Chains A and B, each alone.
Chain A
């Protein structure tokens, strides 16, 4: 057995801390009415003003960490589009004054704060640090939640994301998505000799790393359910095949022994299979590879292009695209390939379907009249809705809470504008809050991880 990873160890620390923590008398004593809450399903929301104070540190190192934690939380909440962090220069009560006891709510009401985040960082004798936080509802004058975490000092950033998720969940009622990573394809060079590399980063762009060196063309990375492995397409030795990449060990392996190009891979929700396409003699069908038995199973058998398969979160269904009806459209089928149903009938072509982690929607790329769209549709084909459109947008991926999507956008190339430009963007399911996800180079094919275990 391999050693527990950094993340596993941190998770254990967090679980232990959760079991031990019960901060404050107001913990989980929730008021039944008029509490601070945001309905994130209602379209354009007015961002709630929230005061994220500097976490108080009891040493110079702890103070630096405390400042950094506050910045990460504030940036996460702001980026969600649901919160408006208040300028800290307007704060009246200081971190020292907030350290003990309840806040002076009047000091926070006067600057229009509705939420108040308070925290502390404390050195422990064993070299670890203890990070505490509390979320207060300023208008109701109550604590909403509070947690504490004992971690190694370099674990502070993950704790900042975990705290952001706790705040998001307490106020919206939905799971957060800040303690996540993104794997994508970093692009550089001219469009006809594009260099593409696997790259990974936290959802806020931090901890960025290139995983491959660019000598081999790589495309379409996707996370395993544990976020420890990536399946992707590599042109290693000019043989395009689906590969597996272990993030912890760096080990790469080709998946399966197929007689032609394999591509469009995704994991099954239980992580035991990878579903993909095999192209052979001009025909593309969908297969699964069982990662334990290495058995290959063919799921579709049509002369059409059947590709881009994606499982429903319970693993019982698969959505895929096929041109069996004449043009690229979306279909669903059972996990064994039976009961194929077409679900898109709108104007244009539909591809790259991805089932939401909530199960309620399927995101896709649509091409119509020379424009590209990112849209969603219910699995039964009803409720089709476009979220964004441009000259070229493609490849949606879901945040683990099923409320935010990421995709890439390319601008046209032309005589005055020979370089391709490709960037990542996120957008809320409501179609609002479209934002660029900043990457060091051009970027495409994003895949959002599950919440880190």
Chain B
């Protein structure tokens, strides 16, 4: 048993060594809000991630098991594309998310479809494809807690995160 224990202890050490880079994208994606808040003279710095979230809107929502963009979504993405053209040095990661009412692997694929739908729309509006990365979190990172339609609707989303 000693032999086994030592090899497992070594395993934990190796894992720790491999994962020394902390994740940051997930925390950035959960703090945002969709509602445009009235700005005042002490608002976010233009061109900042906060400016993007507050004044443009960082996320779009999808129907159940859907990845097509609604008119509300394209309106948001039109604003995102205009902002991205204004701030050409910014790169983004589009996160695709699903609600909790699907199986894990299907939702990973669905999240990837949603992130790609957002990316393709932004690129079609002239955003350089090299500035846009995508990632799917499936159902792993809900924005809103709760097992009800309102929460699920908020969680079926594509979130544009300023890198």
Q: Do A and B bind each other?
A: yes
B residues less than 8 Å from A33 (CB atoms): none
Cβ contact within 8 Å between B112 and A282: yes
Return the 8 tightest CB-CB contacts between A and B, nearest first: A250-B11, A412-B147, A282-B116, A154-B1, A351-B103, A279-B112, A250-B14, A284-B109
- Complex formed: what's the CA distance from A295 to B134 in Å? 26
B residues less than 8 Å from A247 (CB atoms): 7-8, 11
A residues less than 8 Å from B8 (CB atoms): 209, 211, 247, 250
A residues less than 8 Å from B30 (CB atoms): 192-193
Which of B12, B13, B112, B117: most chain A Cβ within 10 A? B112
B residues less than 8 Å from A284 (CB atoms): 109, 112-113
Select which of B4, B14, B16, B104 is within 8 A of A445 by beta carbon.
B104
In this assembly, does A277 line the interface, its C-beta being within 8 Å of a C-beta of chain B? yes
A residues less than 8 Å from B43 (CB atoms): none
Select which of A192, A210, A217, A277 is within 8 A of B109 by beta carbon.
A277
Cβ contact within 8 Å between B106 and A413: no
Cβ contact within 8 Å between A213 and B103: no
Cβ contact within 8 Å between A413 and B147: yes
Cβ contact within 8 Å between A250 and B3: no
Known A238-B93, A247-B11, A252-B18; 18 more pairs at CB < 8 Å? A192-B30, A192-B145, A194-B141, A215-B19, A220-B105, A236-B19, A249-B7, A249-B14, A250-B7, A250-B8, A261-B112, A277-B105, A282-B112, A307-B106, A321-B106, A351-B106, A394-B103, A445-B104
- Complex formed: what's the CA distance from A217 to B140 in Å? 9
Taking the closest CB of chain B, its distance from the CB of A9, in whole angstroms, is 8
- Complex formed: what's the CA distance from A377 to B13 in Å? 43
In this assembly, does B143 line the interface, its C-beta being within 8 Å of a C-beta of chain A? yes
Cβ contact within 8 Å between A194 and B140: yes
Cβ contact within 8 Å between A210 and B136: no
Select which of B3, B106, B146, B148 is within 8 A of A6 by beta carbon.
B3
Chain B interface category by residue count: 35 or more
- Complex formed: what's the CA distance from A283 to B112 in Å? 8
Q: Is the interface of A mostly helix, strand, loop or mixed?
A: mixed
In this assembly, does A240 line the interface, its C-beta being within 8 Å of a C-beta of chain B? yes
11 contacts between A and B (CB under 8 A): A5-B3, A215-B19, A220-B105, A264-B105, A284-B109, A307-B105, A321-B106, A370-B101, A391-B147, A414-B146, A415-B146
Cβ contact within 8 Å between B105 and A351: yes
A residues less than 8 Å from B102 (CB atoms): 328, 351, 367
A residues less than 8 Å from B148 (CB atoms): 414
Select which of B13, B108, B120, B141 is within 8 A of A240 by beta carbon.
B108
In this assembly, does A263 line the interface, its C-beta being within 8 Å of a C-beta of chain B? yes
Task: Output the nearest chain B residue to A155 by Cβ-Cβ distance.
Answer: B1
Taking the closest CB of chain A, its distance from the CB of B11, in whole angstroms, is 3
In chain A between 74 and 90, which residues have their CB closer than 8 angstroms to a CB of chain B? none
In this assembly, does B26 line the interface, its C-beta being within 8 Å of a C-beta of chain A? yes
Cβ contact within 8 Å between B116 and A281: yes
Chain A residues at the B interface, C-beta cutoff of 8 Å: 5-7, 152, 154-155, 190-194, 196, 209-213, 215-217, 219-220, 233, 235-238, 240, 247-252, 260-261, 263-264, 277, 279, 281-284, 305, 307-308, 321, 323, 327-328, 351-352, 365, 367, 370, 391-392, 394-395, 410, 412-415, 418, 445
Cβ contact within 8 Å between B108 and A211: no
Q: A305-B106, A307-B109 known; A213 and B143 CB under 8 Å? A: no
Select which of B10, B15, B27, B142 is within 8 A of A191 by beta carbon.
B142
In this assembly, does B25 line the interface, its C-beta being within 8 Å of a C-beta of chain A? yes
- Complex formed: what's the CA distance from A155 to B3 in Å? 12
In this assembly, does B22 line the interface, its C-beta being within 8 Å of a C-beta of chain A? yes
Select which of B18, B93, B101, B113 is within 8 A of A367 by beta carbon.
B101
Q: A219-B140, A247-B11 known; A212 and B104 CB under 8 Å? A: no
Q: A194-B140, A282-B113 known; A352 and B103 CB under 8 Å? A: yes
- B79-94 vs A: 1/0 string, CB under 8 Å? 0000000000000010
A residues less than 8 Å from B16 (CB atoms): 213
- B16-60 vs A: 1/0 string, CB under 8 Å? 101101110111001000000000000000000000000000000
- B117-145 vs A: 1/0 string, CB under 8 Å? 10010000000000000011000111111
Task: Output the nearest chain A residue to B141 by Cβ-Cβ distance.
Answer: A192
Cβ contact within 8 Å between B109 and A279: yes
Taking the closest CB of chain A, its distance from the CB of B152, in whole angstroms, is 11
In this assembly, does B162 line the interface, its C-beta being within 8 Å of a C-beta of chain A? no
Q: A281-B116, A412-B147 known; A219 and B109 CB under 8 Å? A: no
- Complex formed: what's the CA distance from A351 to B108 in Å? 13
Q: A192-B141, A252-B18 known; A282 and B147 CB under 8 Å? A: no
Cβ contact within 8 Å between A236 and B18: yes
Q: A215-B19, A247-B11 known; A394 and B104 CB under 8 Å? A: yes
A residues less than 8 Å from B61 (CB atoms): none
B residues less than 8 Å from A251 (CB atoms): 14
Select which of B23, B100, B112 is within 8 A of A217 by beta carbon.
B23
Select which of B10, B22, B26, B67 is within 8 A of A282 by beta carbon.
B67
In this assembly, does B77 line the interface, its C-beta being within 8 Å of a C-beta of chain A? no
Taking the closest CB of chain A, its distance from the CB of B41, in whole angstroms, is 33
Q: A249-B11, A250-B11, A251-B14 known; A418 and B105 CB under 8 Å? A: no
A residues less than 8 Å from B23 (CB atoms): 215-217, 235, 238
Task: Output the nearest chain A residue to B144 by Cβ-Cβ distance.
Answer: A192
Cβ contact within 8 Å between B12 and A263: no
A residues less than 8 Å from B108 (CB atoms): 233, 240, 261, 263-264, 279, 307
